[in-house]
A and B are shown apart, each in its own frame.
Chain A
């Protein structure tokens, strides 16, 4: 932070009281605020300097005092000064800001993933354990949370001012943002990208809970089906397993361990299999044919909702041993006991059962 922690605490108290900054409720917030304070100070100095120059010259050289102007051509030295000093300051802000930017958008490896779908006009959150919520988001304190975002219709933007994070939810594309909440409480979750009629009603709440409360919340709102289990069900009901069955002679490649690996396409191009690739491969299969397979997979465009896609992707991710290990490490501590059986009924092609 650069400033002494005591002074910082004092400043923040003062700024919060005077409603200049929102509460600092995440790990990154004080870091963003430190740069904001630095920029504000530099700006004030700059503004005061310009103001003083203009005022002083206006008083000293007004017509009554100074009837004849002295013609001055310019001064290379002065011009160099006011080119180089602002340039230097701006570069400092650029570097500082970029470091922050990378921090804000690079999740730590142990982050727990929550999916959020934006649609006109609500936020739908999907927890790995299958809990769903609308316009609210429950997260545990002191745990890095990665939000994987997508929009089902227009652009939306996921913004939590108290955490100083914001990320656009884009149709057809996954974006991510992460945060680590540091204060129990309830904070605004805004949609900040204009998205039509009820844009200003697309407000949710983020509830930061203690680990115990979070566990309780998970247990109370669990649907009994995790995302991956729901995905497995969809995998069967959409007949994906007719081809992707892992048999040596099957018509589609096995999907076990495919997440995170490098595939070679029929064009010879290697691709990294991530969430976005999986989603695309389901919706638009002919765009990337895996080497050694015929282009026979039908498109599922229009047959699966974004939530359904998320479940499928989550299921395929879970088929990857590494990923399962990692997820288990991250979330078992927090998740309640999960029923192991896939419920037989209620499978629907249109995504997920509501809680």
Chain B
């Protein structure tokens, strides 16, 4: 047998009548659900909503920067716009995106469990997310915040007259959503694996989420405490960050980045998990060096806690601290490099196809490589001095977060769309969307590296005229990118009604999630599976197929 046979039921296929979507009806059945899959869908909808708000703000930023003067909006307004853009994108989109949607949906299924360990807490974390999001929107509508998403003191504590408290508390609340999700994942992965599902049979997606969950549980409380301190300082003036009261303004930076650096990995690790699954499936191979990839996730998570001060090289931390943090930053870059090469070599002697998730995954590899390499420019303390706080930073983290994370998210959404909805997305137009996104992305953010090299500071509403040409490029690119993001929004909704019926395993993939019906039953498995085959065992899969064909035929 040389080619994969298509499933015999494909032509006459129907979506199974009984599934998690149809199990119960009515709004209340959704709002009170304990089903991890339904909660994932709730998250998907709310996260998409916030992404488009954040995106609209991004559009305003780029339009303002089309010309050197601040002519579209006053600089106060601009400051609020980029602050809200940052807050919404980071805390309400990037952090929860893959874990809360795909992670929630897939982790129990991938390990052969019926649900997460704490379904009610899972629902609670969605409500916390909504409350946090609602508070953020309230803060935005009632005057906005102008501190930047980094809430730097004493700007945020003493010099801003905007809604810092509401926003701080909003993030505090949303933070608990993230802590609970992390806890739920850790306990679930430890305690609820099906018989035979050993740690080294765990899909890399689960490993990545496991590592990210450790970060969520250990890092987020620090952010929460920091924000509470900011609020206390604003309201009753406790003075921990206030130098005139003997406080230390740099302490805030330490606390903030102690969370926010690991947060970068909270955002990117789950994305890496998606990429591992997708590349493996579409090249029909076990991920090259599975163990190395699994452990590099954990290594990134652990070392990720020890590099926060690389955000502070120019802030007067001691020279020797700079030395140590610069070295650790270089070390943490290594596992990322390992992963890129492992993915590339997974393709070697594979049998590769180029469906949309794979195109996004390729996009991820290109953009993440650029983002990662430019991170080394910033990790090396001597060059960081020139590049930090300029558009080089903006370009760098957009390459990592938006180029990396968002590509991974879109890759994952397309990949598991058939499982989640039972229907296929339209292939041709989504391939087009992936390409448009990739082109638009480079067009938007590559010029920003050059702007940064030239010294253009970030968070400027107006800028010297010599920077205009590159800014015009960037704004033009942003409009292409915007189209790239709108397209999936449209055709994915379209596919809910008109998409081809997917069948259980449209990609002929190996994971447990592909062995059950799409969309799955509420309880996922009718009987708890006993896992005997290795993870990514495509040979086993083909033997299964042969078996089925002979039986059905």
Contacts and interface: CB of A to CB of B under 8 A. Distances in A.
A7 interface: no
A94 B344 contact: no
A71 B286 contact: yes
B553 interface: no
A161 interface: yes
Interface string B59-86: 0000000000010000110010000000
Contact of B154 (A61, A70, A171): A171
5 contacts: A50-B341, A101-B326, A162-B455, A172-B244, A283-B244
A272 to B, nearest CB: 14
Interface stretch (B118-126, B176-184, B433-441, B456-464): B456-464
A72 B288 contact: yes
Given A53-B345, A171-B249, A161 B383 contact: no
Contact of A74 (B291, B385, B453): B291
B316 interface: yes
A54 B344 contact: yes
A100 interface: yes
Interface of A: 19-22, 32, 35-36, 39, 42-43, 46-47, 50-51, 53-54, 57-58, 61-63, 66-75, 78-79, 82-83, 86-87, 90-91, 93-94, 96-105, 120, 153-155, 157, 159, 161-162, 164-168, 170-173, 175, 188, 190-201, 203, 283-284, 287, 301-302
B330 A66 contact: no
Contact of A36 (B289, B345, B383, B454): B383
B159 A154 contact: yes
Nearest to A76: B289
Nearest to B466: A19
A153 to B, nearest CB: 6
Interface string B166-203: 00000000000000000000000000000000000000
Contacts of B331: 87, 90
Interface centre among A54, A97, A188, A196 (most CB of B within 10 A): A97
A67 B348 contact: no
Interface centre among B314, B373, B376, B389 (most CB of A within 10 A): B314
Contacts of A67: 2-3, 351
B159 A196 contact: yes
B352 A97 contact: no
A46 B383 CA distance: 19
A299 B426 CA distance: 73
Nearest to B332: A90
B316 A284 contact: no
A66 B382 contact: no
B243 interface: yes
A100 B319 CA distance: 12
Interface string B289-328: 1111000000000000000000001111001001100110
A120 B79 CA distance: 15
B377 interface: yes
Interface of B: 2-3, 70, 75-76, 79, 146, 148, 152, 154-155, 158-160, 243-244, 246, 249-250, 283-286, 288-292, 313-316, 319, 322-323, 326-327, 330-331, 333-334, 337-338, 340-342, 344-345, 347-354, 362, 365-366, 369-370, 373-374, 376-377, 379-386, 388-390, 450, 453-455, 457-464, 466, 469-470, 538-539
B353 A63 contact: yes
Contact of A47 (B148, B338, B369): B369
Given A47-B373, A155-B249, A69 B292 contact: no
A92 to B, nearest CB: 9
A60 to B, nearest CB: 9
Contact of A61 (B342, B350, B384): B350
B240 to A, nearest CB: 13
A57 B352 contact: yes
A62 B351 CA distance: 5
B132 to A, nearest CB: 23
Contacts of B342: 79
Contact of A39 (B246, B377, B388): B377
Nearest to A194: B459
A46 B373 contact: yes
Contacts of B347: 53-54, 57-58, 61
Contact of B292 (A46, A79, A91, A171): A79
A269 B376 CA distance: 41
Contacts, number: 285
Given A99-B382, A167-B314, 11 more contacts: A19-B466, A19-B470, A66-B350, A68-B2, A72-B288, A75-B289, A93-B330, A165-B385, A190-B455, A196-B155, A200-B460
Contacts of A70: 285, 349-350
Contacts of B384: 97
Contacts of B337: 82-83, 86
Nearest to A54: B344
Contacts of A21: 453-454
A183 to B, nearest CB: 16
A170 B345 contact: no
Contact of B370 (A19, A47, A96, A198): A47
B318 to A, nearest CB: 11
Given A101-B319, A199-B79, A74 B380 contact: no
B250 A170 contact: yes
Contacts of B349: 61, 66, 69-70, 72
B385 A168 contact: no
Contact of A96 (B284, B323, B380, B462): B380
Contact of A188 (B70, B243, B348, B455): B455
A203 B341 CA distance: 44
B228 to A, nearest CB: 21
B382 A35 contact: yes
B296 to A, nearest CB: 9
A120 B349 CA distance: 61
Contact of A97 (B2, B319, B382): B382
Nearest to A176: B316
Nearest to B279: A54
Given A69-B284, A82-B337, A98 B344 contact: no
Contacts of A173: 243, 249-250, 316
Given A154-B155, A190-B455, A200-B459, A61 B286 contact: no
B82 to A, nearest CB: 9
B330 A90 contact: yes
Nearest to A171: B243
A120 B158 CA distance: 13
Contacts of A98: 322-323, 326, 380-382
A192 B327 contact: no
Please name the 6 residue pairs, one residue from A and one from B, whose CB atoms are nearest each other, closest first: A161-B455, A172-B243, A100-B382, A97-B380, A192-B389, A57-B347
A191 to B, nearest CB: 7
Contact of B348 (A32, A72, A100, A101): A72
A175 B250 CA distance: 13
A98 B369 CA distance: 24
A12 to B, nearest CB: 13
A83 B340 CA distance: 11
A198 B454 CA distance: 21
